[in-house]
Amino acid sequence: MAGRAVTFRTRFAPSPTGPLHLGHAYSAILAHGRARAAGGEFLLRMEDTDLERCRPEWEAQIVDDLTWLGMTWDGPIQRQSDRLADYAARLDPVAVRGLLYPCSCTRADIRAALSAPQEGVAFAVYPGVCRTRPMESRQPGDALRLNLAAALDAIGPDVTFTETGPSHAGTHHIDRATALRQIGDVVLSRKGEEIVAYFLASAFDDADQGISHVIRGEDLFDFTPVQVILQRLLGLPTPTYHHHTLIRDDHGKRLAKRDDARAIAKYRAEGATPQDIRRMVGL
Ligand code: GLU
């Protein structure tokens, strides 16, 4: 990969917690096709930070299915599980700047603190119970949270990213009030020190792997502002984002890992060809 200036580099980043299904195949085929058409690079990354749910067998199956679909990737497969200590260490400067705090709240604590119904809150935003705790008070079982208001002050008001996907195309400006209302003080590192949040590990990887274009499902669009805020805070570049529409089941529900009925392996076993899969996902 080194030695050649590449202006288009994308990746497919599955979590090996189950079989590759039609939805993943669509994402991978789209990203792979764009990279090849642009004379760029396509990287494969395993997002296997969930050590309990990720399995080497699922990774092997994913690799086998992608190969069967005719995909090749540039460079070796990168695994997040190899980089856990590195991610955690890279949070230190942010902690030193006073932007992180230890949190001992359980989900039940958070629910209780949020029990007064809040109009217009899309998902549970942390009410800030532990926000005034200094880092020195961190106990082994504590999570680390980002003080979002302080982080937004640190990065300044001009936070934008470009989206080219069909549902949200355009330049998105991350507005302070909206971010505080919709994102809040996210957990960056769970208890046990070295397990960092998916969206943080992924932001580090996209930067380290020189990803210019992130192509992924629309279900991840809502994570993008958090990732962009973290990129600014950590001095990482912001790629261009493309969130594609989701492949849905017959009832209109998005496919999940547990939808084994739509697993590529099952279609393969039934005699489908890679062209059949492309047709099924509308390509
Ligand atoms: N690991 C995520 C998933 O399997 C994808 C994350 C990303 O593409 O940024 O849904």
pLDDT for the residue 30: 98
pTM: 0.91
Confidence of residue 99 (pLDDT cuts 50, 70, 90): very high
Whether residue 47 has its Cβ less than 6 Å from ligand 1: yes
Whether residue 202 has its Cβ less than 6 Å from ligand 1: yes
Confidence of residue 119 (pLDDT cuts 50, 70, 90): very low
Query: Could you tell me the residue ranges of all domains in the chain?
Result: 9-280
Kindly state the average pLDDT of the residues 108-115: 67
Largest CA distance in the chain: 60
| CATH number for the domain whose boundaries are 9-280 | 3.40.50.620
CA of 216 to the centre of ligand 1 (A): 7
Whether residue 216 has its Cβ less than 6 Å from ligand 1: yes
Confidence of residue 80 (pLDDT cuts 50, 70, 90): very high
For a pLDDT cut of 70, what percent of the chain falls above it? 92
CA of 134 to the centre of ligand 1 (A): 33
From the CA of 202, give the closest atom in ligand 1: 9
Q: HSE-up of 59 (CA within 13 Å, CB side)?
A: 17
Determine which residue's CA is closest to atom 3 belonging to ligand 1: 14
CA of 116 to the centre of ligand 1 (A): 33
Instruction: Give the pLDDT confidence of 196-253 residue by residue, as tens digits.
Output: 888 899 999 999 999 999 999 998 998 899 999 999 999 999 999 999 999 887 787 7
Determine which residue's CA is closest to atom 4 belonging to ligand 1: 14
Whether residue 206 has its Cβ less than 6 Å from ligand 1: no
Q: What is the DSSP string of the chain?
A: -TTS--S-EEEE----SS--BHHHHHHHHHHHHHHHHTT-EEEEEE----TTT--HHHHHHHHHHHHHTT---SSPPEEGGGSHHHHHHTTHHHHHTT-EEEE---HHHHHHHT-S--TT--S-----TTTT--GGG--TT-EEEE-HHHHHHHH-S--EEEE-STTT-EEEE--HHHHHHHT-S-EEE-SSSS-B-HHHHHHHHHHHTT-SEEEEEGGGGGGHHHHHHHHHHHT----EEEEEPPPB-TTSPBP-TT-GGGBHHHHHHTT--HHHHHHHTT-
Whether residue 95 has its Cβ less than 6 Å from ligand 1: no
Determine which residue's CA is closest to atom 6 belonging to ligand 1: 13
For residue 259, pLDDT over 90 is answered with: no
For residue 123, pLDDT over 60 is answered with: no
Please, which residues bridge with residue 214 across strands? 241
